[in-house]
Amino acid sequence: MSEMAMSLTALAGFVVGALAVLFYRNQVEAQSRTATAGDQEPGALPQGVASVLAVLPSSAVVLDAHDRVLRASSAARAFGLVKGDRLMAAELLALARQVRRDGEIRESEIDVAGHKFGQEITNFAVRVAPLGSYGQVLVLAEDQTERRRVEAVRRDFVANVSHELKTPVGALSLLAETIQDAADDPEAVTRFAGRMQHEAARLTYLVQDLITLSRIQGAEPIPTPGQVSIDESINDAIDHCNTRAIAKDITLVTGGTEGLRIWGDDELLVTALRNLIDNAIAYSPEHTRVVVSVRPAGDSVEISVSDQGIGIPEESLERIFERFFRVDAARSRATGGTGLGLAIVKHVAAAHAGEVSVWSKEGSGSTFTLRLPAFGGTAVVVPPPNTLEAAK
């Protein structure tokens, strides 16, 4: 995904640069042809430029010889680069003056205080070129804030994956050496072999979660969606989690409306529910219960997983769906958590054109709610097959 974004950005940069050069060459030729006729005024916009600027997706500004704005695209005004007939970014103005003096095309990157969509800082790739023979200058600014953000996320992801993989791999290597040194002590070999199995399982879970996340993190539509039974998906997810629940004497309870269906992918839904239930078990004390409930919500179905666990601090609620974020890192590692479960849930919800939300209070527990589009556009109860046959 990041490679495609980088390729598109490079292509956009090439187009913008080519347009700047094309403007310069065409306008110089046009003005040389009409110089004797004297039909272009020094403050007028060169012929054809306005039409081209109107279709450019990037922020485009034309300055006259006195730094006044002759023409600005709507994007330039939306980002706050232009107000009235003034160019507001001092760095851009300085570049424009340099280009006007020596006639050389210049490229740079600038950061501008955000004026669009609540952004704090907007990063622009800028190209500035002379336009015509009367001191006019063309400024093209391409917003690359999102590309920079994606690159930062990718770097963090690679760093986090490297760190998470090093821990079990390093532990396996150390345990193997320890077993080799303790070959004449059967009790020690048995103990360390058990630890090796634990670390190998943790490594397996991490790799599986990484594969799942890489498959769905693009928030692309599900390739082959179909009718999915919520009841069957919940039962499958509970079957996956029963062993861990029994080990802590945690009761898994289902409730709410039966017979509801969604439009989506049953395997992905089971994966999301399994992660929510596993998370609830991991952060709940022994002898408690985890409740999975379902209810219709107009054109959607809501599936909630509630626990009586330790809860989540308020300051962490906004970050819990980030990859590798852990409220209690030591507890998560002790329970074998990969730190990717809630990120997977978020992307499964996005892949279904739905959403996931959380309510939590420290010491009282948490409730995670998946809201997914209902099959057929309305949450309607579908009787089980045996009920339909009996009615006949």
Residue 124 has pLDDT above 60, yes or no: yes
- With a CB cutoff of 8 Å and minimum separation 6, the contacts of 294 are 230, 231, 234, 255, 256, 257, 258, 260, 301, 302, 303, 304
DSSP assignment letter at 291: E
Look at 84-98, 147-161, 237-251, 348-362 and tell me which has the smallest mean pLDDT.
Answer: 147-161
Query: Strands 82-83 and 86-87, how do they pair?
Result: antiparallel
Element (H, E) at 30: helix 2-34
Band (pLDDT 50/70/90 cuts) for residue 252 is very high
Angle of the 266-282 helix axis to the 230-247 helix axis, nearest 10: 30
Q: What is the pLDDT of residues 28-74, one digit of tens each?
A: 454 444 443 344 455 566 666 666 766 676 788 888 888 888 888 88
Neighbours of 44 (CB within 10 A): 13
Q: What is the pLDDT of residues 198-234, one digit of tens each?
A: 788 778 877 877 777 777 776 566 777 889 999 999 9
Determine the Cα–Cα distance for residues 43 and 54; give it in Å rounded to an integer: 19
Across 312-336, average pLDDT: 70
The mean predicted confidence, pLDDT, of the chain is 78
Query: Strands 251-256 and 289-297, how do they pair?
Result: parallel
Say what the pLDDT of residue 205 is.
73
Determine the Cα–Cα distance for residues 265 and 348; give it in Å rounded to an integer: 9
% of the chain at pLDDT higher than 70: 73
Token representation of residue 313 = 């601090």
pTM for the predicted model, two decimal places: 0.56
Angle of the 145-181 helix axis to the 2-34 helix axis, nearest 10: 150
Determine the Cα–Cα distance for residues 2 and 158; give it in Å rounded to an integer: 13
309, 313, 318, 320 alpha-carbon torsion, rounded to 10°: -40
Q: How far apart are the first and last CA of the chain?
A: 52
Say what the pLDDT of residue 113 is.
75
Determine the Cα–Cα distance for residues 342 and 278; give it in Å rounded to an integer: 10
Q: What is the pLDDT of residues 148-206, one digit of tens each?
A: 777 776 776 676 677 667 777 888 888 888 888 888 888 888 888 888 887 887 788 77
Look at 195-199, 349-353, 364-368 and tell me which has the smallest mean pLDDT.
Answer: 195-199
Neighbours of 191 (CB within 10 A): 14
Between the CA of residue 139 and those of 31, 53, 74, what are the distances in Å? Answer: 20, 11, 14
Q: Following DSSP, what letter does each residue of 333-354 receive, concatenated? A: HHTT--S-HHHHHHHHHHHTT-
Between the CA of residue 4 and those of 7, 159, 218, 364, what are the distances in Å? Answer: 5, 21, 12, 45
Across 367-379, average pLDDT: 86
Say what the pLDDT of residue 246 is.
92
Say what the pLDDT of residue 119 is.
54
Which tops the pLDDT comparison, 252 or 178? 252
Residue with tokens 């109860």: 381
Residue with tokens 């999915």: 228
Determine the Cα–Cα distance for residues 239 and 235; give it in Å rounded to an integer: 6
Token representation of residue 5 = 């974004």
% of the chain at pLDDT higher than 90: 21
Neighbours of 119 (CB within 10 A): 15
Say what the pLDDT of residue 157 is.
67
Say what the pLDDT of residue 43 is.
57
